[in-house]
Amino acid sequence: MANAYKITTGDVNYRKGAVTDDAVVTSYDQGADVKITCEAYGEDIHGNSIWDKTSDDYYVFDYYVKTYSDSMGEICRKEILFRGEYWVSRHVPYSMSAYYPDLDGRKCRIDFSSFVSMAGSILSQLDLRRHCQGHRSSLAPTADAA
């Protein structure tokens, strides 16, 4: 199900992907309704990396859409699989004491509950304190995860 939201400024680009390097399909005028099916993380602009996926599989930067939220809402199946594959493709081992960064650079404990939270992008503030060290880091594994 897609909900419609208003564009907050004029000439907002509608792109093939969630980065400004992706091709512009068209632009929206201020006040236009955009049908959003879910949100995905993409290129960070203005300190925000949330992009809205439209009902026709294109992306609009969330900063310019009146979604009434600065946080991630429902995410797409594709985003969950992408986030999970991020750790799987790096052969991150299971551990109750080691940490490895998620896609946002937060070092997360690499046990099952942290993997599910990371892949589902459902890390609440409590989860961040319990599972992740909430600071930016390089995307290299820690010594414990190597």
Asked if residue 84 is part of any domain, the answer here is yes
Burial class (CB in 10 A: 0-12, 13-18, 19+), 101: buried
Here the tokens at position 12 are 């907002």
pLDDT of residue 142: 34
Q: Are 107 and 59 members of one domain?
A: no
Mean pLDDT of 89-113: 81
Percent of the chain with pLDDT over 90: 15
Domain stops at, among 64, 86, 103 = 64
Residue 93, pLDDT above cutoff 50: yes
Domain housing 98: 77-145
CB 54 within 8 A of CB 21: no
Q: Are 82 and 139 members of one domain?
A: yes
Cα Rg of the chain, angstroms? 17
Q: Are 139 and 118 members of one domain?
A: yes
* Full-model pTM: 0.50
Count structural domains, the chain.
2
Here the tokens at position 119 are 């892949």
Q: CA triplet 101, 102, 103: central angle to 5 degrees?
A: 120
